[in-house]
Structure 1
């Protein structure tokens, strides 16, 4: 019988996947939450997944995106048991291989993954976050709004926020994180957010409440004139995330990751060979016509 002391825990499995991913955080295109404003229908795949309570599918897809920079280079696919262990928590739900298979099937139906059965196992490949194209590294095509992205810090996994938050709370975390990737705060209304992202107003309200209760939300109220209201005034709610999910904290982890990558990939500086004291013959700088061409 194998001792539990030599079996990797769920937390250790998540931490290892973060480590081997190379960057240590999760990169998600904005089109996972909402399509660009040149689209007839703005809500993307997140809204229906929330409405249909496909929480496991959201979690598994986000973990796949996290690990993909490493997985893409592997010959062997990860076993379902590894995914199940990585997404299990003491405070939340346990996953089984059956749960993983069901979530892959749901993601495949939504166009978010592609599965290939090979002799060495089932290879799962992510598709673009709107389910409309093959996956590629975000941000490579400048000026394309379908290539812009936001990030989730490692604490999303290491502190188990992926499971601690309710489904509406998880959705609103993704929405506000995306909206504040390039600005400090965002003004949201329950009905407007519901329309923009394909949620119900109740889900928006419940999600904001969850983030507030968990201490992940900063909220500022602005009173403005409203000539048609009974009181002549109304209020706007401005939101931002706190702690490791704040705009500044997320920008800092990206900066550090880029600096570490630059240090790893910088060419080594070699010392010039020592002079032997012998003079070398003068270099012939004259070129033939063929060489010049």
Structure 2
């Protein structure tokens, strides 16, 4: 995600591992943090998310590949969607994307969130849709089957992620009635509301205003 955040027209990046460690708020960015970055880059290279060009004594050059893991060269999703949406609408759909606030990185959340929490934040952000820009965005109910069928999430990831986001005040969680036509009678379900103002205006470990 961080690689995608900083890329512009050319999907080729050169950054010292220490700089990436500092961006992500890792401990000991010049040593242990830099090693974590190098290990992560090697994993991304092995799984065809990037093409890593390394040379002794020089910073690694990162060539971004498609985030689907196809191994194809990365293209900016907005430009690609616009290019394909009329002639190949099915192919264009694969390039739909959401925009996240830069404060996810600049406020230190990207380094503070666990994998399940970051995954659930992305899912809830997407499910919230256009109302994410409203002061009172819609509440999202994500059943275990919906989480699995739409996003491939396990029950453990869904629950752990939601609990962590709630604890950090990045979402509100409340028992709310599901739509009456979904069941024969109204039932309360744990629903979630993204708190964008906390992500944008706070840092991890600080109480929301």
TM-score (norm 2): 0.70
1:242 aligns with 2:171: no
Are the equivalent residues in 1 in contact too, given 2:116–2:158 (CA < 8 A)?
yes
Q: 1:112 to 1:136 in 2, by over 3 A?
A: same
Structure 2 distance, partners of 1:157, 1:167, is 15
Deviations 1:120-175, CA, capped at 9 Å, x for gaps: 54210221221223111112223311121111212211221112222211110111
Partner in structure 2 of residue 194 of structure 1: 148
Per-residue deviation, 1:245: 7.3
Q: Which residue of 2 aligns with 1:87?
A: 24
What residue number does 2:76 align with?
Answer: 137
Q: Which residue of 2 aligns with 1:125?
A: 63
Counterpart in 2 of 1:274? none
Tell me the equivalent position of 1:222.
Answer: 177
Structure 2 counterparts to residues 161-176 of structure 1, below 5 A:
161-176=109-124
> Following TM superposition, by how much is the alpha carbon of 1:118 offset from its aligned partner in structure 2, in angstroms?
5.5
After superposition, the C-alpha distances for 1:259-291 in whole angstroms (9 at most, x for unaligned) are xxxxxxxxxxxxxxxxxxxxxxxxxxxxxxxxx
Aligned partner of 1:155 in structure 2 is: 103
Greater mean alpha carbon deviation, residues 136-145 or residues 169-178:
136-145
Structure 2, unmatched stretches of 5+, are 86-91, 132-136, 201-209
Give structure 1 regions of 4+ aligned residues with deviation exceeding 6 angstroms. none
How many aligned positions are there?
177
**Higher RCO, 1 or 2 (CA under 8 Å, sep at least 6)?**
1
Q: How far off is 1:65 after superposition?
A: 1.2
The CA deviation at 1:196 is: 2.5
- Partner of 2:54, secondary structure, is strand
Change (3 A) 1:89 1:216: same
Q: CA deviation at 1:103?
A: 0.4
Q: Rg bigger for which structure?
A: 1
Q: Secondary structure at the match of 1:129?
A: coil
Q: Distance in 1 between matches of 2:26 and 2:16?
A: 18
CA RMSD of aligned residues (A): 2.9
2:52 alignment partner, one of 102, 112, 115 = 115
